[in-house]
Amino acid sequence: MQASRARLFKEYKEVQREKSADPDIQLVCDESNIFKWTALIKGPSETPYEGGVFQLAFAIPEQYPLLPPQVRFLTKIFHPNVHFKTGEICLDILKNAWSPAWTLQSVCRAIIALMAHPEPDSPLNCDSGNLLRSGDLRGYRSMARMYTRLAATPKKR
Amino acid sequence: MHDAMANDSSVSASARDFAKKRRVNRSAKLKQCKLDARREQWLSQVKGKSCKVTPMASPPTSSSPPVPMPRPQSCLHDSDMVFASHSPTSNSPGKPPKVGCCPNNSVSSGGSTRSCSLSASDGEEEGARGEENSAIDDWETIADALSAYKVNDGCHPSCDTRGPFVESRVPPAPVNDSGTRSTMNPEPTRTIPRAWRPDDEFRPQSLPNLYKQQSFPANMERHFGAKGWSHPAILSAPSSCPICYEDLDPTDSSFLPCSCGFRLCLFCHKRILEADGRCPGCRKQYSPVEGEMLGMSGVKPLLPFQLSRSYSMGSRS
């Protein structure tokens, strides 16, 4: 309990210190609860998610960093490894491949990498996975791009 | 690990600042010693008129500490080491100046200078602080350069005597006017006048190396980069545990629980062992016995460090 709090506090300071280090990631800690974080990540370029800003919700267990944080997309995203309704993410480092050496920041980076390299063989979003597995790259891309436009593009004007 | 070494050589915990201060003192003192030595030499020349060597011969010795001066000479010749020991006796105020044996003179200044540089390392509190040390940033290099210069003189073989050599290592600070007195324990090792060749076992291994390593990280990178030592060095670099972000104490930093080299504090290691027991670095299972053994060998980097140190010296020459 105390260890996780201390570690999260250190991570918080790190994030504050290197705010501009990674412009694609913006990690914000809940003002009243250090175990709740949100992150805004930019969709990687040359993917259907380009131009979108996706919000992630972190729920951090008290055993952190021995246990991984629970991360899910708050923003709708059409991706084979993200549950379309709940936003749950199927990512090994959030499950059994977690290492205490990871940080919230590195988790965000891993999720960005997952967006760029979907893994259709372990799909949470079957529609998306099926499109990719059947080789319908154009179908997948257009669907993903559409949802990026609908849900993840910051409203201008 | 560093702290352990520092403690070994009876330097207190604030080794880093200490080292810096000492370095400054040392180089400043070296400069002063050189000035003293030169003055003394001139005095002795005036005294003993029989000297045939022009005074001009000496300034290059002391005033040009060329850092890139090659080391090979200094490691090829033993004899120049004897000079360092021999000349102080001729220069030291209490004894009759031996300047009469002529060609020795130009050498003696260099020799005494070098012994100054040796003995200067002990006095920490006293004097010469105000002097700038921009020209001299490495007393060791200077010493080597001096010896190299003297080898080039080609006049030394006549002066090779073992007696003064042994004698001078007993009084470590022959040059009294510099105000240096032996205050440190590691001092005897350092003032052995012949401890300057890369392959010399008496070469001051403990303190100067440690200081250099701490104060010249760039150099260290360059010298050690290619060696196997660099791997644990980089991995041991973090001063805080990557899991809890707490500072690593000396026990933690010598604790190497996994063969992948991932370091963490003992507390986190224990917590991980109670949980899934996998190394955060490679995600392989910690094996307690092996982890223990590797933990013991966490002290080991000291050895490669010293070896590669001497190796780097050798490769530079």
* Per-residue pLDDT at B146: 61
Residues B222-232 have pLDDT tens digits of: 444 343 343 44
Whether residue B228 is found in the same domain as residue B166: no
* Block residue for tokens 């022959």: B174
Instruction: Taking the CA atoms of A94, A97, A101 and A107 in sequence, report the sign of the dihedral they define.
Output: negative
Quickly state the pLDDT bin for B23 (edges 50, 70, 90).
low
Instruction: For residue B175, give the H/E element and its range.
Output: none
Q: Is residue B98 domain-shared with residue B58, that is, in the same domain?
A: yes
Its domain, for residue B309, covers: 215-316
Angstrom distances, CA of residue A36 to CA of A9, A92, B304: 12, 21, 46
User: Chain B interface, mutation test: which of A4, A7, A62, most B Cβ atoms within 10 Å?
Assistant: A7
> How many residue contacts between A and B have a Cβ separation below 8 Å?
34
Averaged pLDDT, A10-39: 89
Start-to-end Cα distance in chain B: 28
The pLDDT of B214-239, averaged and rounded, is: 44
Q: Is B305 exposed, middle or buried (0-12, 13-18, 19+ CB in 10 A)?
A: buried
Chain B residue numbers touching A10 (CB-CB < 8 A): 245
Look up the ipTM and state it. Answer: 0.75
Of A116-125, B210-219, B239-248, the range with the lowest mean pLDDT is: B210-219
* Of residues B22 and B91, more confidently modeled: B22
Q: Domain boundary at B158, B185, B207, which?
A: B207
| Token pair belonging to B195 | 């401890």
Q: Single out the residue in B207, B225, B254 at which a domain terminates.
A: B207
Question: Rounded mean pLDDT of A20-24?
Answer: 83
Q: Rounded distance, CA A85 to CA A78, Å?
A: 10
Residues B151 and B185 in one domain: yes
B275 touching chain A per CB within 8 A = yes
* Residue B192 contacts A where some CB pair is shorter than 8 Å: no
Least CB-CB distance to A6: which of B244, B278, B283? Answer: B244
Q: What are the distances in angstroms from CA B164 to CA B149, B159, B174, B201?
A: 21, 10, 12, 21
Residue with more model confidence, B313 or B255: B255
The minimum CA-CA distance between A1 and chain B, rounded to whole Å, is: 12
Decide which of B47 and B253 is more confident. B253
Q: Give strand pairing partners of B247.
A: B240
Q: What is the pTM of this model?
A: 0.47
Range list of H helices, B135-240: 139-153, 162-169, 187-191, 207-215, 217-224, 230-235
Mark yes or no for CB contact A100/B243 under 8 Å. yes
Tokens of B223: 């010298």
Output the pLDDT for position B25. Answer: 63
Contacts of A63 in chain B (CB under 8 A): 275
B272 touches A at CB < 8 Å: yes
Q: Are B32 and B78 in a shared domain?
A: yes
Are B195 and B220 members of one domain?
Answer: no
A58 close to A104: Cβ distance less than 8 angstroms: yes
Last residue of a domain, one of B207, B228, B245: B207
Residues B157 and B265 placed together within one structural domain of the fold:
no
Portion of chain B with pLDDT greater than 90, in percent? 0
Q: A21 by DSSP, 3-state: which?
A: coil
Are B57 and B143 contained in the same domain?
yes
Structure tokens at B227: 């060696």
Q: Considering only the beta carbons, identify the residue of B244, B276, B278 that sits closest to A3.
A: B244
CA distance A150 to chain B (A): 39
Same domain, B305 and B166: no
> In this structure, are residues A36 and A30 in contact, taking their beta carbons and an 8 Å threshold?
yes
d(Cα B235, Cα B232) in Å, to the nearest integer? 5
Number of domain units in chain B: 2
pLDDT band at residue A52 using 50, 70 and 90 as cut-offs? very high
Exposed/middle/buried for A78, CB within 10 Å: 0-12, 13-18, 19+?
buried
CATH number for the domain including B274?
3.30.40
Residue entry with tokens 């080991």: B300
Interface test with A, best of B240, B241, B243, B266 (most A CBs within 10 A): B243
Q: How is B65-85 classified by DSSP, letter by letter? A: --TT--SHHHHH-SHHHHHHH
- Please tell me the predicted confidence (pLDDT) of residue A2: 77
> Is B164 found in the same domain as B23?
yes
Q: Do B240 and B137 fall into the same domain?
A: no
- Over 70: is that where the pLDDT of B48 sits? no
Handedness of CA B137, B141, B147, B149 (dihedral sign): negative
Same-domain pairing of B202 and B220:
no
Catalytic positions of A are 90
The verdict on B172 and B280 lying in the same domain is no
